[in-house]
Amino acid sequence: MKRYSFIINPISGVSRKKNIPLLIESLFKNVSAEYKILFTERAGHAIELAREESEKNIDVVVAVGGDGTLNEVARGIARSNSALGIIPLGSGNGLARHFKISLNPFKALRQLLNGKSIQMDAGMLNENLFLSNAGVGFTGEIIHSFQGNKMRGFFPYAWYVFRDFLFYKPVQMKIESGDKILENKFAFINVFNASQFGYNITLTPEASVQDGNMITVCLPYSNQIQFGTALVLAALSSGRMSRNFFHLVKSNTAKVHFKGKLFAHIDGELLMVENTAHFKILPGYLNVIVPN
């Protein structure tokens, strides 16, 4: 009999979570499987809970929350026999959108129960795991501004993008990715394992979590008009009209060199990096349940 453990972050994202246990109970009444529900109590707690469940050889450890919760659960079950399940109840939900997992909790649960397991790559930014994407520069600044904001969702996020864009100063960087070396003032460097920033915005629709590579997206900075135009087109056209503003490089590793400290992020969680951001892909890092 298949066993599921649901790890719920009760405070992440924008969705109501109080009905999730009732939804799980109603669906599992007609399924030959066992389940348990666990709630996180603090940052990092999902890692501990997921590790404990994987050590019990639970078949599927399900992250119920946003991309940050997925990241923590993945870190807990990595290199184990347990698969990652996803019920997306965050705001951006980048990895869930990549896999076309429904943002409706009931439908997502049905997809989970009827889904299949695949092996997926993960990435590292220095010593920090990411599943969907990670970046340094302006994208890290936005996450820093967004921290602690009680309002979630696309429009509050867009407000911080607009506000910080007005005052952001680009940074001189040297990028080594694949066989290419780029030196310039860049607004940001963002690396994609999956196709999504979140909020259904993508600059890399061709990205795959099973090819052992990532796509490094670099936005050179010329002036505020060019910078703002690139951001607006990326948001409005899901990258189709903005590709001419960016450099894209496909590889399995990338190093970004700069002076001093910069804000960075992994799956939307804030980091600070100093002098070097080293990105790399870890092929076949974990199993994940995706829709058939």
Q: What is the pLDDT of residues 26-85, one digit of tens each?
A: 999 989 999 999 999 988 999 999 999 999 999 999 999 988 899 999 999 998 999 999
DSSP secondary structure letters along 57-118: T-SEEEEEESHHHHHHHHHHHTTSSPEEEEEE-SSS-HHHHHTT--SSHHHHHHHHHH-EEE
Segment 226-234 mean pLDDT:
84
The helix/strand/coil state of 216 is strand
**pLDDT surpasses 80 at 111:** yes
CATH class of 128-283: mainly beta
Question: Residue ranges of the domains in the chain?
Answer: 2-114, 128-283
Mean pLDDT, to the nearest integer, of 203-207? 91
Residue 163 to residues 146, 168, 228, Cα–Cα distance (Å): 11, 9, 11
What pLDDT does residue 12 have?
A: 58
What is the rounded average pLDDT of the residues 200-227?
Answer: 92
Q: Does residue 115 register a pLDDT over 90?
A: yes
**Global pTM exceeds 0.85:** yes
Q: Is residue 17 predicted with pLDDT exceeding 70? A: no
Which pLDDT value is given to residue 202?
86
Q: Which CATH architecture has domain 2-114?
A: 3-Layer(aba) Sandwich (3.40)
Least-confidence region, from 103-107, 132-136, 159-163, 280-284: 159-163
Q: Where do runs of H (alpha helix) occur along the chain?
A: 20-28, 45-55, 67-77, 94-98, 105-114, 138-146, 154-167, 224-237
Secondary structure letter of residue 201 according to DSSP = B
Q: Would you call 32 helix, strand, or coil by DSSP? A: coil
- Give the residue with greater pLDDT, 199 vs 267: 267
pLDDT at 161: 76
CA dist 162 and 282 (Å) reads 34
- Which of these, 122, 121, 82, 87, lies nearest to 101 by C-alpha position? 87
Which two structure tokens, joined as six digits, stand for 13? 């994202």
Give the pLDDT confidence score for residue 242 in this predicted structure. 63
Check pLDDT > 70 for residue 145.
yes
